[in-house]
C-alpha cells in the first residue's frame, strides 16, 4: 500500500511540474511557436477586438480597442471564454493568446489582472527571469534575448522574441 501511495504522489508531482511552465516556454499548457490551430478551436474560443501595439519610442506594448482596423495588426488575440487562467497560482482575469498572422503560431500573451495582484506577478516573474530590466512607477519590464515581459496595472504581456523583431 505504501508503494502505491508513493507512486501516486510521484505522478501528482510530475503532473504539477508539467503544468507549472516557465514564461520562456509559453503559458499554461501552450508553448511558444505552437500552431494556434492546434488549440484555438471549439465554441468556447473567441477573437478579441483589440490589437497589441508596440510603441518604439517608449519601448512598451499597449492595447488598442476598436480604433483602427484590427485586421492590420500583426497578432490575432484569441481567448477561451470558459478558461479560469492563473500565473503560478496568481488569479488572472482573462488570457489572450496572440497568434502571429503570418506564421499562425503563438508568439504573444496578454494577461489581464487585478491591480492587487501586481506584486505577486512581479515576484513570480522575478523568480523565473531574475531582476527586471526596467522598473517605473507603472511598469516592470524584462527585456531578455528570448522573451520580453511587461507588467503594468492592468496587463501582463509576454512576447516570445524568437518570433521576430517587434519594432
The structure's pTM equals: 0.83
Categorize the per-residue pLDDT at 18 as very low, low, confident or very high, splitting at 50, 70 and 90: very low
> Which helix (H) or strand (E) element contains residue 125?
helix 118-129
Higher pLDDT, 158 or 16: 158
pLDDT for 57 equals 87
Categorize the per-residue pLDDT at 15 as very low, low, confident or very high, splitting at 50, 70 and 90: very low
Q: Mean per-residue pLDDT for 123-135?
A: 96
Q: How many residues does the chain have?
A: 167
The pLDDT tens digits for 64-121 are 886 666 677 889 999 999 999 999 999 999 999 999 999 999 999 999 999 999 999 9
Higher pLDDT, 46 or 73: 46
- Joined grid coordinates for residue 34: 505552437
pLDDT for 167 equals 58
- 19, pLDDT greater than 50: no
Q: Mean per-residue pLDDT for 34-60?
A: 92
- Which residues have CB under 8 Å from 84's CB, separation 6+? 91
- 163, pLDDT greater than 50: yes
- 52, pLDDT greater than 80: yes
CA dist., res. 79 & res. 81, Å (int)? 6
Sign of the CA dihedral running 13, 151, 27, 145: negative
> Which helix (H) or strand (E) element contains residue 10?
helix 2-19
Please state whether beta strands 75-80 and 140-143 pair in parallel, antiparallel, or not at all (unpaired).
unpaired
pLDDT for 67 equals 63
Amino acid at each position: 500500500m505504501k508503494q502505491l501511495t508513493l507512486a501516486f504522489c510521484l505522478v501528482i508531482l510530475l503532473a504539477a511540474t508539467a503544468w507549472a511552465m516557465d514564461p520562456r516556454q509559453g503559458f499554461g499548457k501552450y508553448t511558444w511557436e505552437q500552431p494556434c490551430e492546434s488549440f484555438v478551436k471549439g465554441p468556447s474560443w473567441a477573437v478579441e477586438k483589440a490589437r497589441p501595439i508596440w510603441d518604439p519610442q517608449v519601448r512598451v506594448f499597449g492595447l488598442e480597442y476598436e480604433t483602427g482596423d484590427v485586421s492590420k495588426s500583426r497578432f490575432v488575440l484569441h481567448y477561451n471564454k470558459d478558461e479560469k487562467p492563473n500565473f503560478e497560482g496568481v488569479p488572472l482575469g482573462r488570457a489572450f493568446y496572440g497568434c502571429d498572422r503570418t506564421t499562425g503560431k503563438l508568439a504573444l500573451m496578454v494577461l489581464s489582472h487585478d491591480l492587487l495582484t501586481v506584486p505577486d506577478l512581479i515576484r513570480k516573474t522575478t523568480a523565473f527571469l531574475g531582476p527586471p530590466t526596467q522598473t517605473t512607477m507603472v511598469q516592470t519590464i524584462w527585456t531578455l534575448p528570448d522573451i520580453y515581459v511587461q507588467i503594468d496595472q492592468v496587463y501582463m504581456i509576454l512576447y516570445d522574441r524568437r518570433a521576430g523583431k517587434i519594432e
